[in-house]
Chains A and B, each alone.
Chain A
Amino acid sequence: MTDVTTARRGRTTRAARPASAPRMSRAVWMRELGWRHLVGVVGVVYAGFPLVYVLSASLSDGGTLTGSNRLFADVSTANYEALGDTYFWTWMLNTLQVAIATSVGTVLMGAAAAYAFSRFRFRGRRAGLTSLLIIQMFPQMLAFVAIFLLLVGLGNVVPELGLNSKLGLICVYLGGALGVNTFLMYGFFNTVPKELDEAAKIDGATHSQIYWTIILRLVSPILAVVGLLSFISTFGEFIIARVLLQSESNWTLAVGLYGWVSSLLEANWGLFAAGAVLSAIPVLALFLFLQKYIVGGLTAGSVKG
């Protein structure tokens, strides 16, 4: 049913409409578009006001979060400057390393698995696909004992994979590379017509050539989506990171920021707010950068092909 061509046709027909539409009256505009702006504004206020609040707190000079309800009563960059005296930028760098490595790994491994599930017919395919999804649903909260022991064991053998190593943490995250992501990609891979593969095969291409040069190019939107999702979830993960990364210079942002607010006595909301604002920037930037893929990629493929 859905294949690339019809989807594209659907889009072009819709896109062609506004050019030919006659200028509409105010009432029609209100009914057709005006309410959308209204919804948009309300939605943006709802989505944005807590963030405005954090921004205001980050710019205020000291004070607690709950005690600073006057937005932008004073504006100072003291909190941002104070970040320089902390490990904040080291954490930012660590987080970016871990998140980028994890998302790239997740995309590569997830896409490969999705390709196999989508294109090959083998025993246990359905069951494998379902169990991938199910196994990821294990509540990880208590798993820290097991993960810790595992890394202690691995670290004795290969120190680079042990505790307090970013590589070790990345490996743990990559353990979740297959799962919902594979399922997302699997759906998308299914929308790429099989005829393409077969044509290429007749031309003498091997399965790996088909995969690397044809398929991956066609499914790039979903790769972007999975990359972003994995980036975001890695960026915010702190339960496992907190157990594994021991020295402060190896922490990720989530662990560090959590440390700033977790113990009430040492609470420093201003610093925390400034950190939170800055740490949202990479995610936003990535989102803006990938936006054109994302909207098309998210579930375009989940429709059964």
Chain B
Amino acid sequence: MRRSILLAAALTTTLGLSACAGGTEEPGDDTSSPAAAGDSLTIWVDETRQAAVEAAAASFEEETGTDVELVLKNFEDIRPDFLAQVPTGEGPDITVGAHDWLGELLSAGVVSPIELGDLAGDFEPVSVQAFTQDGQVYGLPYAVENIALIRNTALAPEAPATWADAVAAGQAAGAKYPILLQTGTEGDPYTSYPLQTSFGAPVFEQNEDGSYTPELALGGENGTAFATWLAEQGKAGVLSTDITYDIAVEAFKNGESPYIVGGPWMLEQFADLELAIDPIPAAGSQPAQPFVGVQGFYVSAQSENAVSATDFLVNFMATEEAQLALYEAGNRPPALTAAADTASSDPITDGFRTVGADAVPMPSIPEMGSVWAFWGVTEAQIISGAAEPAAAWEKMVADIQGAIG
């Protein structure tokens, strides 16, 4: 029996070797395959942007012969996956992303700078500024987004001057909800931020050039005033933690409210309504400034195809045509000024753009990450009456300070 074992082992090994003699050619082939030769680009996109990028990718493929592979990802997976995968050498060459990721991506060393050169002047200033850190630009902006007050003109013919006016007008119109502002059980500080700024409590101190310092500014008297106001609105039933994004959109769509605080991403749902876009009515004594978010493309620091990637972005995505295609897909005003001007022929887009002109960029400093985790929930707790406003707000500021360290 011993021999049979030996023989069998010898036999299988020979079989094995002969089988793989045919197989070893494969890795040999690999070196000349597209991936290694560097004439293919991988781009991460989310669903909204997919079609628009596809169009630009097609013309890029045609002109340069470089294959472009679009990988569809959930928008909220992109940041963690990009951070985790780029260091392994796997990630994409290019990814879509928001400007407020920049601080984190930089400290992880996963993005490379993009030299826009003279092209920088063709973009809306806020969009390039948002992707700039220490004088270097790290992303190619394609859209600027901010919220505004969307008004159903059939229910409210006039733009309200203040929050109280809006509530009064909504109640007078007999609507189920005087005004809709999404909150949810975890709060939505992004949507309620303009009201916070109207009380003079921005999240961070700003330098003279508009960049943020890690100095918290949302506390103090003004912050407490905002917190108290939230509690009052919650008690009066104007704000409620039950109003999630879905519910708010559905209610506005059904004509149950004349106003909704929201962004261009909602518009698709409101196709049947007559709309006007107004500045968000202030609740405090200062102007209500929403956040501006800039969407753009980042190039991976580990990209093996950096030339193609930069070429694609600078010469194919920074065109009016591509930016307009992205505008059609996402409804956000384009970042390229020429494209934005074209898009502004639509009064709705123009409305958002006008409100955006007075808005402030969302902070992209890494400290911002520690703010989100406490901010919304505290607001929700105050609105639902679960927490005493002044104390809860004060504790939140202390907790954020603790998390920032």
Residues in A lying within 8 Å of B, measured CB to CB: 63-67, 144-145, 148-149, 152, 159, 163, 242-243, 246-248, 258-259, 262-267, 269
Q: Is B74 an interface residue (CB 8 A)?
A: yes
Q: Are B74 and A263 in contact (CB under 8 A)?
A: yes
A259 touches B245 (CB 8 A): no
Q: Does A262 contact B74, Cβ atoms closer than 8 Å?
A: yes
Contact code string B353-383 (vs A, CB < 8 Å = 1, else 0): 0000000000000000000000000000000
Chain A residues, Cβ within 8 Å of B47: 259, 266
The verdict on B209 contacting chain A, using a C-beta distance below 8 Å, is no
B71 touching A64 by the CB < 8 A rule? no
- Is A67 in contact with B76, judged by CB distance below 8 angstroms? no
A243 lies within 8 A of B246 (CB): no
| A148-B76 Cα distance, complex, nearest whole Å | 18
Stretch at the interface among B77-85, B173-181, B337-345: B77-85
Q: Which residues of A contact B84 (CB under 8 A)?
A: 144-145, 148
- Docked CA distance A63–B75 (Å): 22
A119 and B75 CA atoms in complex are apart in Å by 52
Q: Contact check, A267 vs B246: say whether CB atoms are below 8 A apart.
A: yes
- A262–B249 CA distance with the chains assembled, in angstroms: 17
When C-beta atoms are compared, the residue in chain A nearest to B48 turns out to be A266
Q: How far is the CB of B267 from chain A (nearest CB, A)?
A: 12
Return chain A residues, CB-CB under 8 Å to B77.
242
Contacts of A144 in B (CB 8 A): 84
Residue contact B90 to A152, C-beta cutoff 8 Å = yes
Please report the C-alpha to C-alpha distance between residue A185 and residue B322 in the assembled complex, in whole angstroms.
Answer: 59
Judge whether B132 is part of the interface by a CB distance below 8 angstroms: no
Partner of A243, one of B81, B89, B249: B81
Give the chain B neighbours of A269 by CB distance below 8 A. 246
Cβ of B112 under 8 Å from chain A: no
Q: Which of B56-102 contact A (CB under 8 A)?
A: 69, 71-77, 81, 84-85, 88-90
**Interface residues as binary, B229-270 with A (CB distance below 8 Å gives 1, 0 otherwise):** 000000000000000111101110000000000000100000
A5 and B149 CA atoms in complex are apart in Å by: 76
Which of chain A's residues has its CB closest to B76's CB? A263
Given contacts A247-B72, A263-B46, A264-B245, 5 further A-B contacts (CB under 8 A): A66-B244, A66-B247, A152-B89, A263-B75, A265-B245
Q: Which residue of B lies closest to A266 (CB)?
A: B47
C-alpha spacing A65/B249, complex, angstroms = 12
State whether A64 touches B74 (Cβ < 8 A): no
Nearest 5 CB-CB pairings of A with B: A67-B250, A64-B246, A248-B72, A264-B245, A64-B250
Which of B71, B81, B250 meets A63, CB within 8 Å? Answer: B250
A19 CB → nearest B CB, Å: 57
Chain B residues, Cβ within 8 Å of A248 = 71-72
Query: Which residues of B approach A to under 8 Å, CB–CB?
Result: 30, 46-48, 69, 71-77, 81, 84-85, 88-90, 244-247, 249-251, 265
**Chain B residue, CB-CB nearest to A249:** B72
Say what secondary structure dominates the interface of chain B: helix
Which B residues lie within 8 Å of A259 (CB)?
47, 74
> Are B71 and A247 within 8 A (Cβ)?
yes
Interfacial chain B residues near A264, Cβ < 8 Å: 244-246
Write the chain B residue with the least CB distance to A155.
B90
- B residues less than 8 Å from A64 (CB atoms): 246-247, 249-250
A259 to chain B, nearest CB (A): 5
Q: List 28 A-B contacts (CB under 8 A).
A: A64-B247, A64-B249, A66-B247, A66-B250, A148-B84, A148-B88, A149-B88, A152-B89, A152-B90, A243-B81, A246-B71, A246-B73, A247-B69, A247-B72, A248-B71, A248-B72, A258-B74, A259-B47, A262-B74, A263-B74, A263-B75, A263-B76, A264-B244, A264-B245, A264-B246, A266-B47, A267-B246, A269-B246
Residues in A with CB closer than 8 Å to B72 are 247-248
B-side contacts of A149, CB under 8 Å: 88
B246 surroundings in chain A (CB, below 8 A):
64-67, 264, 267, 269
Give CA–CA (A264, B265) in the complex, Å.
11
Q: In this complex, which of B72, B84, B89, B249 has the most chain A Cβ atoms within 10 angstroms of its Cβ?
A: B72
| Chain A, Cβ-Cβ closest to B89 | A152
Q: How far is the CB of B47 from chain A (nearest CB, A)?
A: 6
Closest to A267 in B: B246
Residues of B within 8 A of A63 (CB): 250
The docked-state distance in angstroms from the alpha carbon of A266 to that of B244 is: 14
Q: Are B88 and A152 in contact, CB atoms less than 8 angstroms apart?
A: yes
Nearest-Cβ distance from residue A147 to partner chain B, whole angstroms: 11
CA distance A263 to B72 in the complex (A): 13
Between A65, A67, A242, the greatest number of chain B beta carbons within 10 A of the residue's beta carbon is seen for A67
* CB proximity of A244 to chain B, nearest CB, Å: 11
Cα of A148 to Cα of B83 in the assembled complex, Å: 13
Q: Given the complex, which residues of A lie within 8 Å of B71, measured CB to CB?
A: 246-248
Q: B27: nearest residue on chain A (CB-CB)?
A: A157
A262 with B81: CB separation less than 8 A: no
Contacts of B245 in A (CB 8 A): 264-265, 267
Question: In whole angstroms, how far apart are the Cα atoms of A269 and B244 in the complex?
Answer: 14
B43 nearest CB across to chain A (Å):
12
Docked CA distance A217–B75 (Å) = 49
Closest to B50 in A: A248
**Chain A residues with CB under 8 A of B48:** 266
Query: Could you say which residues of chain B place their CB within 8 Å of the CB of A263?
Result: 46, 74-76
A267 to B47, CA, bound (A): 12
CA distance A148 to B247 in the complex (A): 37
Q: Name the residue of chain B whose CB is nearest to the CB of A65.
A: B246
Contacts of B250 in A (CB 8 A): 63-64, 66-67
Whether the pair A148, B85 counts as a contact (CB closer than 8 A) is: yes
Query: Which A residue's beta carbon lies closest to that of B73?
Result: A246
- Name the distance in Å between B30's Cβ and chain A's nearest Cβ: 8
Query: Which residues does chain A contribute within 8 Å of B90, judged by CB atoms?
Result: 148, 152, 163
